[in-house]
Amino acid sequence: MREELYRNGFIEIFTPKIIATATEGGAALFPVAYFGKEAYLAQSPQLYKELMAATFERVFEIAPAWRAEESDTPYHLAEFISIDIEMAFANYHTVMNILENVVKKAITVVKEECGKELKTIGYEPPDPKLPLKRFRYVDVVETLRSEGLSIDLGDDIGTPGLRIFSKVTNEELYFIIDWPSKAKPFYTMPKRGEEEFTESFDLNWRFLELASGSTRVHIKDLLVKRLREKGLNPNSFEYFIKWFDYGMPPHAGWGMGLGRLALMLTGARNIREVTLFPRDKKRLTP
């Protein structure tokens, strides 16, 4: 994956993992004792990679991230490796193309170099044809309603909904695009003329979300408005907002969990099977 990103002109960066403010809104934070100050473990490199994209145009990071979520499933960890990119002068369509090529490359390399191991475990990774299909959120909701699922516009599409949708469409790898504004973080750009929706996407493997991304807000007044709409205090993001005074280019990006990608590549049924020393709400050792 690094090779594919390097080939596309991306520069690898390393951002702080002890932060002062939340970046992902609803995701819970792990507090850290930091010399008498309030600090947290990073949920993602989101704000830092946006700032660096304004300087270097194309950046990526592969690094740990933490979410203090209560989810206790085969697909969630409290600590995980996240693959993140950010790209200036781009929109969500641009970075979707980058994402599907990165995933396709990973699948190709695993098949070429790990054929013996795949045969031993009796698993064949998917063989996606690019470009992957893009389904609008509103159309997915309509499909799920026709299948008898009770879901309203604006609701998240959870695992049960994704199971139904992937079965109905017979799609293994696919995008769901144009999500509702209330379902996405403050830095997500609303669609022009349809402000209740956003220029955003999720990449799913069957019923499992592998990655999410969007066009980002690059207008200061809109950023402040979005923060307030999400119940966040703009003063807490002053270090980020002030960069917009000097001009922030249009930009977009995505983040993908390495563990979930490994599930797809190996056919494992639990993310703990593809993670060294996994951390979840019940496990702190070894």
**281 domain-assigned:** no
Cα distance between residue 196 and residue 83, in whole Å: 28
Listed residue (135, 162, 138, 169) closest to 152, CA to CA: 138
* pLDDT reported for residue 44: 95
Output the domain CATH number for residue 147: 3.30.930.10
pLDDT at residue 24 greater than cutoff 80 = no
**284 domain-assigned:** no
pLDDT at residue 283 greater than cutoff 70 = yes
Residue with tokens 């993001």: 237
Cα distance between residue 89 and residue 266, in whole Å: 35
* pLDDT reported for residue 230: 93
Number of domains the chain contains? 1
CB neighbours of residue 222 within 10 Å? 15
**286 domain-assigned:** no
Listed residue (184, 218, 180, 281) closest to 88, CA to CA: 218
Kindly state the average pLDDT of the residues 116-134. 97
**68 domain-assigned:** yes
**38 domain-assigned:** yes
**285 domain-assigned:** no
Q: What are phi and psi of 244, to 5 degrees?
A: -70, -20
User: With contact defined as beta carbons under 8 Å apart, do 168 and 160 qualify?
Assistant: no
**168 domain-assigned:** yes
> What is the domain extent for residue 49?
2-274
**237 domain-assigned:** yes
199-230 tens-digit pLDDT: 999 999 999 999 999 999 999 999 999 999 99
Cα distance between residue 196 and residue 201, in whole Å: 15
